[in-house]
Amino acid sequence: MAVTKTNPGNFFEDFAMGQIIRHATPRTVTRGDAALYMGLYGPRFAVHSSNAFASAIGYPDNPLDDMLVFHTVFGKTVPDVSLNAIANLGYAAGRFLKPVYSGATLSTVSEVIGLKENSNGKTGTVYVRSTGSDESGDKVLEYTRWVMVRKRDPASTPPEAVVPELPDRVDPDQLAAAVPNLDVSKYDFDLAGSPHRWGDYEVGEKIDHVDGMTIEEAEHQIATRLYQNTAKVHFNQHTEAQGRFGRRLIYGGVVISLARALSFNGLGNAFHVAAINGGRHVAPLFAGDTVYAWSQVLERAEIPGRSDIGALRIRQVATKNQDCSQFPLHAADGKYHESVILDLDLWVAIPR
């Protein structure tokens, strides 16, 4: 019997509770990656944009954008976890643990923490806890996600169902590590592009980020390749033409980064994503669609031991082909409005 040397990806039956997966390939991230990321999404946060700005307030160098780090760590997991996925269903308990600078080499390890066959018998949901580390072995990011994965054989016996208990949010006590102690007296709010500090935001406040950004086919493919994400649904029009939508899907991380970049207009000093409390991709995005975003302040929290920064818990919602002046979230029947594509719960750090 011939042994194949290619990787067809894991199906639901290939996962086991407690399984540890060391993902290929380590990735050294550089200023070139940061420049390309900026060219794809246009984020304007001063700490990531300017070495002089970051150094003035206490960073040794300007750190890489948090979402560039997230997508790079995430991309490592795709060939092993979600190559045969139908959908990436959600996120929880994500924490950024250490600033990442140009020249760092990132790698990822995942643990299977939950398995549950779906009622149709053709798919199952796989829960993984993924950890990104740098070349020194220091953890820079950890998060949980769950994915709907195809079964190889619908008649195969399913494993015992295990659905992990996940927290509603990351505790603010756990948010300090990823930001060094800063000298806020040197933080230039004019150069940062916004006068608003932590205390200027009120719980319940909604912010229409106003701007829209249209995503093109080439842009999303470059972005997904940048993260070495090999998911077929993003690249292979030959196969996707026969699929549910008849075309390639935009990688959900592109939506996250677009929403984050758009949020600068209204949250310009929220320079650091400290945690991903939860969230889901509500609906697909396609090339040619225009993305808008709005945010709502859910909590305002002090970070123990830190007088320089505070934390805002933000619900960040992205829509397609509809601006957010009316904050479309739910239709009359209580379901999401048809324009909503992303609903994400974040902690962001902002100067006090």
Query: What is the per-residue pLDDT across 248-298, written as a single tens digit (0 to 9) for each?
Result: 889 999 999 999 999 999 999 999 999 999 999 999 999 999 999 999 999
Q: Tell me the C-alpha distance between 192 and 130, whole Å.
A: 33
188 found inside a domain: no
CA–CA dist 64, 53 (Å, integer)? 14
304 inside domain: yes
pLDDT in tens, 42-101: 999 999 999 999 999 999 999 999 999 999 999 999 999 988 888 888 999 999 999 999
Q: Tell me, what CATH number does 144's domain have?
A: 3.10.129.10
> In this structure, is residue 94 part of a structural domain?
yes
Number of domains, the chain: 1
Cα–Cα distance between 151 and 117 in angstroms, integer?
A: 9
User: Is 187 within the bounds of a domain?
Assistant: no
Instruction: Please give the single-letter amino acid code of residue 287.
Output: A
Domain assignment present for 189: no
Q: Is residue 146 in a domain?
A: yes
Residue 134 pLDDT greater than 90, yes or no: yes
Residue 130: is it exposed, middle or buried by C-beta count within 10 angstroms (0-12/13-18/19+)? buried
In a domain, 118, yes or no: yes
Q: Is 186 helix (H, G, I), strand (E, B) or coil?
A: helix
What domain range includes position 78? 12-158+166-178+195-351
Q: Is residue 171 part of a domain?
A: yes
